[in-house]
Amino acid sequence: MSALLPVYDRDLVIVSGRGARLTDADGKTYLDFAAGIGVNGLGYGDRKVTAAIRKQAGKLVHASNLYYSQPAQALADRLAGIAFPSKVFFCNSGTEAVEAAMKFARRIGGPAGRTEFVAFERGFHGRTMGALSLTWTEKYRTPFEPLVPGVRFCAWDDLTAAAAVIGSRTAAVFVEPVQGEGGVRVAPREFLQGLADLCRERGALLVSEEVQCGLGRTGALFAYQHAGIRPDILTLAKPLGGGLPLGAVLLREDLAGAIAVGDHGSTFGGNPVAAAAALAVLDRLTAPKFLDKVSQKGAYLRKGLNQIARKHPAIVQVRSAGLMVGIELQAAALPVVKALREKGILVTRAGDNVVRLLPPLVVKRKDIRQFLGAFDEVLATGAGAAPAPPPAVMVEGGSGGAVA
């Protein structure tokens, strides 16, 4: 029996990976359409990322955060240059990035009495106490209550509901431009634009929470760019470190003066090796036509799924942005996930009845065709479909007619 604390339901031992494929301890190879839940955006064993890690590991693995490291400084400058004028805080994960964003928002708004937060139904922001307080799903929240007070939830894609809860005490509004755990729900452009206007009019900060949907996943470098807006705070993590633990918070430059020495910290945040890996990741993401190819492959995958949906009524809806896809089913998604695994394809769920696809951004079209073929075969078995209703029972009515 493993000494690992069983906080995850895991029974597969992975030993190696290359490109979009993983190999387990028994030698079986899998096509990974989950990419480490969005972490391995460049797949496994990317040569440039691996070379950057090796080179930096031979020079400096860690130094106290009382000092700068060259990779962390270079990465901060790079992120601020490709996003918006900002100051950058580094941490190790998405939930830590959200925690930092909460603290920064309160530090900025606190003197004016702005200590509350607004988040959205179906949103997921992490499992540490602050981030969990912004997470909507009851099963995650209830065992750990009481959580951080002052969080108000409102309906997704509803500006009227948002206007009712964003007020003079709101420090920040946290929104995922594409909800991941919440079922891969894509925020309409008009909703994000209206939300940005509301925040600006009412003095609240807008946080674009892009731990999962950022860094090329949607076909844009940052998902907020699809709406033509600019947030006050941006949170990043998952694919940033190329598989190494790394998160980042970008805080609008003109707001950063409110954050003082000692207000926050992270022992391992901006680790030189992880930062060097991230610089290599950004080199790949910003290469000419890279993001165009992500969009093209996302459209190719979506077209194939739409064709399958016309064959199988088990599919209720296909939702996507680039290579971030949610397939809502009539029934539970878990049997479909398990059946795909038996066919050598790894996917995840987003809620009880949504199959979530997060393939590496470098996935090939032949890999997409392999997935589509396997998915079609699985649905043909009846997996994911609602049980057929029982036959109508014919009962003789009082007037002699039959009543169904």
Report CA-CA distances (Å) from 37 to 32, 42, 100.
10, 13, 22
Burial (CB < 10 A; 0-12, 13-18, 19+), residue 142, is exposed
Q: What is the pTM of this model?
A: 0.94
Q: Helical H runs in 184-271? A: 189-202
Q: What tokens were used for 348?
A: 């995840």
Own/partner long-range contacts of 78-85 (Cβ < 8 Å, ≥24 apart): 78/279, 78/282, 79/236, 79/248, 79/250, 79/282, 80/250, 80/253, 82/221, 82/282, 82/286, 83/221, 83/222, 83/234, 83/250, 84/230, 84/231, 84/234, 84/250, 84/252, 85/252, 85/253, 85/254
In contact, 351 and 37? CB cutoff 8 Å:
no
What is residue 210's three-state secondary structure? coil
Tens of each residue's pLDDT in the chain, 404 residues: 678 888 877 788 999 999 999 999 999 999 999 999 999 999 999 999 999 999 999 999 999 888 889 999 999 999 999 999 999 999 999 999 999 999 999 999 999 999 999 999 999 999 999 999 999 999 999 999 999 999 999 999 999 999 999 999 999 999 999 999 999 999 999 999 999 999 999 999 999 999 999 999 999 999 999 999 999 999 999 999 999 999 999 999 999 999 999 889 899 999 999 999 999 999 999 999 999 999 999 999 999 999 999 999 999 999 999 999 999 999 999 999 999 999 999 999 999 999 999 999 999 999 999 999 999 999 999 988 888 666 655 544 433 333 33
Q: For residues 90 and 267, is the Cβ–Cβ distance under 8 A?
A: no
pLDDT value, residue 404? 33
pLDDT at 397: 42
Architecture of domain 14-32+288-380: Alpha-Beta Complex (3.90)
The string of pLDDT tens digits covering residues 336-360 is 999 999 999 999 999 999 999 999 9
Other Cβ atoms within 10 Å of 224 Cβ, number:
26
- Token pair recorded at residue 190: 């008009």
SS3 346: strand
pLDDT the model gives residue 1: 60
Question: 47-285 belongs to which CATH class?
Answer: alpha beta
> Where do the structural domains in the chain lie, given as residue ranges?
14-32+288-380, 47-285
Torsion, Cα of 198, 202, 205, 209 (10° steps): -30
Q: Token pair of 251, please?
A: 């805080």
DSSP label at residue 373: H
What is the per-residue pLDDT for 344? 98
User: For residue 61, which phi and psi values (nearest 5 degrees)?
Assistant: -90, -40
